[in-house]
Amino acid sequence: MDVVLSTPAFILSALGFSMSFWLALEVAGAFVGRRRRKFDARTRTIAVIVPAHNEAGVIKNCLQSITGQLKARDRVIVVADNCTDSTCDVARAAGAECLERENQNQRGKGFALQFGIDHLASDPPGTVVFIDADCVVKEGALETLAAAAEQSEAPVQALYLMTAQSSADIDEARNSASAVAVFAWAFINKVRMRGLDRLFGVTRLTGSGIAMPWRVASASSFGSSEIVEDLAMTVDFVKRGLAPRLVEGAVVTSEFPISQQERIRQTARWEHGSRRLAKRNTIQNLFSSLSAGNFKLFALTMDMLAPPLVMFFIYLFAVASFAGIAAIAGNAAPLIVAVCAIVIAFLAVFAGWLGFGREIIGLRDIGGLFSFAFSKIGVYGKAGRESAKTWTPTRMDDGIDRPSDGSN
């Protein structure tokens, strides 16, 4: 009985420990001192592709933040993908080109990106930039990002952060939960990705604020129904020797939806999609990275193995509970490993907050931890899993009336 319980308990505990150790390593890497890279002024033209699916309520702010940073011969192209609202009208009024794509059999952001790339082939730019329609590009970010892509001759990723919408109609508990959500996002995109980039010279592509030379974009295939197309692209680029780098001096922001339902849908899309991709490819990528000596692929695979914080701690405590049963049966080793994993993960998150999160979440927001964790029931439940299967607008609380098409 002891062996029957202790063997799987030890394997699960060891897996949790390895993920906690890697998490702590990334956080430690975020504190590694390194001067921010400076880039010479870009010399190539850029084309900004903005994929949009029913984004009429938010795309104007996005385009205004882009057009003010463009130079002569630069372009901004909106791909209105299977839209049923006035996205194209708003885009054209804001000074952008707008391509209307209709294909109900190929729905997804990846197909929209590929449509934009194909359109550019007849008059290609020097650099391509991808910005989501609900994002705002901070002043100077476009220039910095394009220059980084041009001079590295590889994909680069801006620092993509979320903010919380403030409203007098939102109670304090929900504001605190929003602050926790903003920190959880920053913990991945700022703390972990900074550490990954500084230690191993690679970062994840995080969906918006991506730039790459035209020769890289034109030789890549973006058209797929993969929900986490950015993560799939990252793996592909690293395998091709084009590891993306983080450009911290270029910042792109978006807002979490006020609606709890829309926030759950947004979070579910990323969390379930990333876990599905990790489950499909982790073992293969680990073997490939070790056999080919591709340490950047190994680092990226280990990073993908560690799930989002709430899911991770649920796993760790579940394993500790199972290991506790094994300890009662006579083998305490798995429990010791599981407890060490929990302590390491907690210290890593605390260090991340201490170094990078105190301006986001304070002691008064501690109560929001419980609301944030409770909201994950919707993310990990059946509704969350179903909503993660299709590309839907990130924000649906903008007052725009949209007909139901079965995907929203």
Asked if 192 contacts 308 with a C-beta cutoff of 8 angstroms, the reply is no
- Give, for 75, the enclosing helix (H) or strand (E): strand 75-81
d(CA 123, CA 125): 7
β-strand 97-101 against 136-137: which pairing, if any?
unpaired
- Span 251-296, pLDDT tens digits: 999 988 766 666 666 666 666 666 676 777 788 889 999 999 999 9
Taking CB atoms within 8 Å and a gap of at least 24, the contacts of 59-62 are: 59/87, 59/90, 59/91, 59/94, 59/133, 59/134, 60/90, 60/93, 60/94, 61/136, 62/131, 62/132, 62/133, 62/134, 62/135, 62/136, 62/137
d(CA 145, CA 393): 25
215: helix, strand or coil: helix
Strand order in the sheet with 136-137: 97-101, 75-81, 46-52, 127-130, 210-213, 156-164, 245-256, 136-137
- The model's pTM is 0.86
CATH architecture entry for 47-259:
Alpha-Beta Complex (3.90)
Asked if 357 contacts 190 with a C-beta cutoff of 8 angstroms, the reply is no
212: helix, strand or coil: strand
Which pLDDT score, from 0 to 100, does residue 405 have?
38
User: What amino acid occupies position 318?
Assistant: A
Which pLDDT score, from 0 to 100, does residue 396 have?
47
- The angle at the Cα of 405, spanning 88 to 273, to the nearest 5 degrees, equals 90
Asked if 189 contacts 161 with a C-beta cutoff of 8 angstroms, the reply is yes
d(CA 98, CA 89): 8
- Give, for 129, the enclosing helix (H) or strand (E): strand 127-130
Per-residue pLDDT of the chain in tens (408 residues, 90 and over written 9):
567 788 999 999 999 999 999 999 999 999 987 777 788 889 999 999 999 999 998 999 999 999 999 999 999 999 999 999 999 999 999 999 999 999 888 888 889 999 999 999 999 999 999 999 999 999 999 999 999 999 999 999 999 999 987 654 454 545 677 788 889 899 999 999 999 999 999 999 998 999 999 999 999 988 776 656 788 899 999 999 999 999 999 999 998 876 666 666 666 666 666 667 677 778 888 999 999 999 999 999 999 888 888 889 999 999 999 999 999 988 899 999 999 999 999 999 999 999 999 888 887 776 666 666 666 655 555 554 455 455 555 554 443 333 333 333
C-beta atoms surrounding 57 within 10 Å? 21
First to last CA, the chain: 49
Asked if 144 contacts 69 with a C-beta cutoff of 8 angstroms, the reply is no
Q: Which two tokens stand for residue 200?
A: 């191993």
C-beta atoms surrounding 131 within 10 Å? 29
- Span 34-54, pLDDT tens digits: 777 788 889 999 999 999 999
d(CA 318, CA 156): 37
The residue ranges of every structural domain in the chain are: 2-32+281-387, 47-259
285: helix, strand or coil: helix
d(CA 220, CA 161): 26
State percent of the chain over pLDDT 90: 61
